[in-house]
Structure 1
Amino acid sequence: MRRPVALIALTALVVTGCGGNGSQPTAGPSTIPSSTVPTTQEPSSPPATTTQSPTQSPTQSPTQTPTQAPSCVDQKLQALTLREQAGQLIMTGINGTGMTSAQRAVVRQQKSGGVFLVRNGGSLASTRAATRAVNSAATVEGVRPLIAADQEGGKIQRLRGAGFDRIPAATVQGTWSSSKLTAQAQEWGSQLKHAGVNVDLAPVADVVPASLKSQNAPIGQLDREYGDTPQQAGQGVTAFVQGMRKAGIATSVKHFPGLGRVRGNTDFASGVVDDVTVRGDADLQPFADGIKAGTSMVMVSTVTYSKIDPKNRAVFSPTVIQGMVRGDLGWQGVVITDDVGSAAEVKSVPAGERATRFVAAGGDIVINAESGLTATMVSALVTKAQQDKSFAANLTSSVRRVLTLKQDFGLVTCG
């Protein structure tokens, strides 16, 4: 019998996923004590205080204390135009060996807040040259871009040329001690750092039941899982995140709320549905473990979870993002999509809506592997923000979270 995550961790309310007695838990979010899962709070400025000396007459104006200067993040937020703010929320796909002329034009004109190396790159030296070009094209108001790669290991390793170690699959990494995996992840992260890459879109936190491994196209068939139990997966996720963080590399635990129980791969198939996972599932513990270990982002899948929100894919679901990620897990940092640019699962959704629906649901960074769609997505975000004050507030909150993440990794220059 599976026990809910929260019962395992806290003997209290649900965390995310499915109930241990087989019944579906309530849909309302539960609260996890911050001592169990840390939260990342948005920066705020305390209000100016008012003081009055004892000898001051009632008719005199009170003496005002100096107003606190805006934080670096707020300064940058105010300096960016609405379109530049929207650009911060799009991670544009480029070739790992460097931008094509068309990709360079998109990154420069749209000021993409991040780029994603979508095809296998060359050597460490050539990757470093490519990332320098990205920084030149995308930096705006002293805010440099996130530069990301899928550097999991095994069949999913974008950067394989000279200077990059060949990384074993997660199924192998999962057999190592935590200390060995942390040390190895730190070494792999150091290579990424030297190449100018600052984000590893890893680790996979999905749990693939042993009985489904051969049928699970996105994870099991590619040996991307750390284990077939929440405990095994969580141990690998924790060690990997900690190693990458020591190297100064941001990570993203993925693919919430899990791809371990589906059969189709959303990159190539549409209509992929998980009809098992419910809120409070023990298999979601590795995501909580990744947050506790210090991950920088939580990636949300494009699958539909019929027992959580049958009307929306996870990336468009307020229940998943606001209710589960931000509510149940207590995560207030950056939430990022799985690819919604070239993935077959979202082809039926207009490109602009892929961005606006995600941000409206509470998400932040949109991964778009098709650079030709970036301008459409940015324009859609701008138009929606101009027409809808509530959405505009969501967009501002998302940009603030992204800028805070960038500041944490030295990508924001103030002064």
Structure 2
Amino acid sequence: MRTRSTALVVLSALLLAGCSDDQSSPTAGPDTVPSSSVPLPTKTTGQPTKTPSATPTSTPSCLDAKLQDLTLRQRAAQLIMTGISANGMTSAQRPIVQKQKPGGVLLLGAGGSLAHTRTATAAATKAATVEGIRPLVAADQEGGQIQRLKGAGFTRIPAATVQGTWTSDKLTAQATQWAGQLKQAGINTDLAPVADVVPVSLKKQNAPIGSLDREFGNTPAEIGPPVQAFVRGMMAGGVITSVKHFPGIGKVRGNTDFAADVLDNVTVRGDDDLQPFADGIEAGTEMLMVSTVTYTKIDPKNRAAFSSTVIQGMIRGDLGYDGVVITDDVGAAANVAKVPAGQRATRVIAAGGDIVINGAADLTAAMVNALVVKAQQDEAFAKQLDASVRRVLALKQKHGLVTC
């Protein structure tokens, strides 16, 4: 079982090894934090992430060199994942991706065959590549009703409620196969698996998860093993996973994609239902997705994606997770529609997040602009931005997406 590495270990390894195209590893796997918080349930221990300082050297590491090569605007863009059509960039999306160079693209809508998808992702990758840094290319490939890509060449994946009944070995083997298809299609990131716990009594009322059969089970003990099996299978196939939607959307009623002011009045810091997220981290997930729900018993003033209590306190602190934190959609989602687009991006980074999912491509420039302006005006924010870019580039380097 792979253990989590700290940001300092990652940087040290990079300083020793440098980087190249063939460094991917297919089998690798302003809120105040309450002082009286109850730690999250977790099988592992860790400390909040610390931004490593550059080690003095005559030859900068690949990571340092890339950071130096990028302008502030280019660095800011690395933190945005822009939504594009799964069938290929539209005439409106293409110039946005070409000009803004987002650090990631997310395939939205129903896609075509594997071969068609490969052509679409190749074009998007070329358009978004900047200074030898290629984009994360992501899809929601969970199974059941949430499977973006199901044309010829893609296996029809059963719903999580079915996957959860399989043995761990079977699910890992199947996930490895699904990952292979994604890789062939030019996709390096699967925004899955779902670690949310949906109580049996709320299944039909829980719009985002239960009503769509997206849950592996109904208790933390049932959900943890398949979350780990899915993560390990995708890792074996060389695909990045994103365990979601921290700290859980299994107890809400509204779907944040279509409803505003979605609240969770039940979940607390240290909740037993957070265990599947810890399990996913233990299995080696390289991303953790944070929801846009407001958790009134954790941070009543901020949506989770905008909350340093959730990201810095619970994810970085309680769980000791030093990987990439990505948001649920804050572009097209109705739950954030009242927040100015630029503020959605700056509030995520200020809270400690790393990648902002933006399902509305036309908002990309506004988000990048806002990050640039705030970094120019706020030195502390600029350091946070650079720390996030470093985490994103380290992940990309690991998967062969950085050329030095």
- TM over 0.5, yes or no? yes
Alignment partners' CA distance in 2, 1:40 and 1:306: 23
Unaligned runs of 5+ in 2: 1-32
Q: How many residues align?
A: 372
Cα 1:243–1:140, aligned 2, differ >3 Å: closer, same or farther?
same
Alignment partners' CA distance in 1, 2:310 and 2:365: 27
Task: Give the structure 1 partner of residue 67 of structure 2.
Answer: 77
1:311 maps onto 2:319 in alignment: no
Task: Give the structure 1 partner of residue 28 of structure 2.
Answer: none
User: Which residue, 261, 265, 280 being the options, matches 1:275?
Assistant: 265
Q: SS where residue 287 of structure 1 aligns?
A: helix
Alignment partners' CA distance in 1, 2:400 and 2:48: 17
Cα contact 1:30–1:327 (8 A) shared by 2:
no
Task: Give the structure 2 partner of residue 376 of structure 1.
Answer: 366
Alignment partners' CA distance in 2, 1:356 and 1:45: 23
Cα 1:39–1:165, aligned 2, differ >3 Å: closer, same or farther?
farther
Shift in Å, 1:325: 0.5
Shift in Å, 1:323: 0.2
Q: SS where residue 268 of structure 2 aligns?
A: coil
1:284 maps onto 2:274 in alignment: yes
1:158-197 matches, within 5 Å, as 158-197=148-187
Unaligned runs of 5+ in 1: 1-24, 49-66
Task: Give the structure 2 partner of residue 99 of structure 1.
Answer: 89
User: Which residue, 10, 13, 36 being the options, matches 2:44?
Assistant: 36
> Which structure would you say has the larger RCO, counting Cα contacts within 8 Å and 6 or more residues apart?
2
User: Which residue, 375, 387, 398 being the options, matches 2:388?
Assistant: 398
Cα contact 2:77–2:100 (8 A) shared by 1:
yes
Task: Give the structure 1 partner of residue 227 of structure 2.
Answer: 237
**How far does the alpha carbon of each residue in 1:107-160 deviate from its partner, in whole angstroms, 9 at most, with x for none?**
110011000001111000000001110111011111000000000000000001
Cα contact 2:82–2:106 (8 A) shared by 1:
yes
Shift in Å, 1:44: 4.7
Alignment partners' CA distance in 1, 2:292 and 2:50: 26
Alignment partners' CA distance in 1, 2:118 and 2:46: 34
Task: Give the structure 1 partner of residue 207 of structure 2.
Answer: 217
Computed over aligned residues only, the root mean square deviation of the Cα atoms, in angstroms, reads 1.9
Cα contact 2:41–2:275 (8 A) shared by 1:
no
Q: SS where residue 203 of structure 2 aligns?
A: helix
Q: SS where residue 214 of structure 1 aligns?
A: coil
Shift in Å, 1:225: 0.4
Alignment partners' CA distance in 1, 2:370 and 2:51: 27
Shift in Å, 1:26: 5.8
Cα 1:299–1:203, aligned 2, differ >3 Å: closer, same or farther?
same
Alignment partners' CA distance in 2, 1:153 and 1:411: 26
Q: SS where residue 185 of structure 1 aligns?
A: helix
Alignment partners' CA distance in 1, 2:226 and 2:261: 30
| Identity score, percent | 69
User: Which residue, 320, 328, 339 being the options, matches 2:318?
Assistant: 328
Shift in Å, 1:266: 0.6
Cα contact 1:151–1:202 (8 A) shared by 2:
yes
Shift in Å, 1:74: 1.2
Alignment partners' CA distance in 2, 1:142 and 1:165: 32
Alignment partners' CA distance in 1, 2:41 and 2:108: 38
